[in-house]
Amino acid sequence: MDAPQVTFVVFDGFQPLDLVGPHEVFGHAGYRCRIVAPRAGLVRSRSALPVHAEYGVGDVDPAGVDTLVVVGGAGVDEARRDRALVEWVAAAGAGARRVASVCSGVLLLAAAGLLAGRRVTTHWRRRDQLTAEHPELTVDCDPIFIRDGRFWTSAGVTAGMDLALALVEEDFGRDRAHAVAQELVMFLRRPGSQSQFSVPLWSAQPSSDPIRLAVDAVHAAPGDRHGVEELAARAGLSPRHLQRRFTAELGVPPAAYVERVRVEAARRALAEGDDPVDAIARRYGFGTAETLRRAFHRHVGVPPSDYRDRFRSTKEYA
């Protein structure tokens, strides 16, 4: 199979990692990549890093786009008021084999009318805006990426690389995606269902479908019962077999993995919301605030209340 072409859409004020990360993944996999902007020439990123766009929207036939990737960044709010850009994205997306967005790039896809009725994700800081401005969408900002038919949307910055790896795996199989991940020192196949705040860089990834099913169940609902018996039922294995294979594939036993995922979910809740610590403890399977406090000390090194004070932020991002 010849390498498909990936067409990236950028604009002034784009987030550079939304472009560079996926571009590196596709480039290492052998894809042909091109960058399209409202006008050909120099495009300044959100951090002032200049990027040269080889093409303007008037230079590229939208009917020839295979995979369309729209990046995000603070400049997307201005970009989606560019009528020529929005119309080109709409035309390209209508016929493309696949359409994807990174971070707040989903706002440009939505403005182009491509996502009506779809389930989508974006950076969690853009959730309220996307929900309010596009009630025709089902917005779920927990996963790092979501596929709905031929439309793929992802969370902020590095999640775009996970999405790109998933597209490589879809086109060429796991072996090529694995080779790219090794070259870029990435963990292969963070599941799309994984929480934006539950990044298991502390573990390996499952190498078999039964264990992947168990892991996905934990990330999908950290507060549910996830004892060995429940996970074994998910995986279609006996409890003893599940315990042995889980530990071999992920490097930690099931109970330790579940606790770590719950801590990451609680970290998100503490940083993002105002719910009391005891309510967060119950929601994510700790039962009591004291149990959560002990788990936090083991994995984070500070009490939940200190973590909230230290890491809560109201800064705009995407």
Q: Which positions are catalytic?
A: 103
Is residue 124 within 8 Å of residue 196, measured between CB atoms?
yes
H or E segment at 181?
helix 174-183
H or E segment at 98?
strand 98-102
H or E segment at 43?
strand 41-44
Residue 254 backbone dihedrals phi, psi, to 5 degrees: -55, -45
Sign of the CA dihedral with 189 first, then 204, 122, and 45 last: negative
Question: Could you give the CA distance from residue 132 to residue 135 in angstroms, rounded to a whole number?
Answer: 6
Q: What is the DSSP string of 194-207?
A: SBTT---TTS----
- In sequence order, what are the beta bridge partners of 34? 7
- Tokens in use for 219? 């990330």
Secondary structure class of 224 (helix, strand, coil): coil
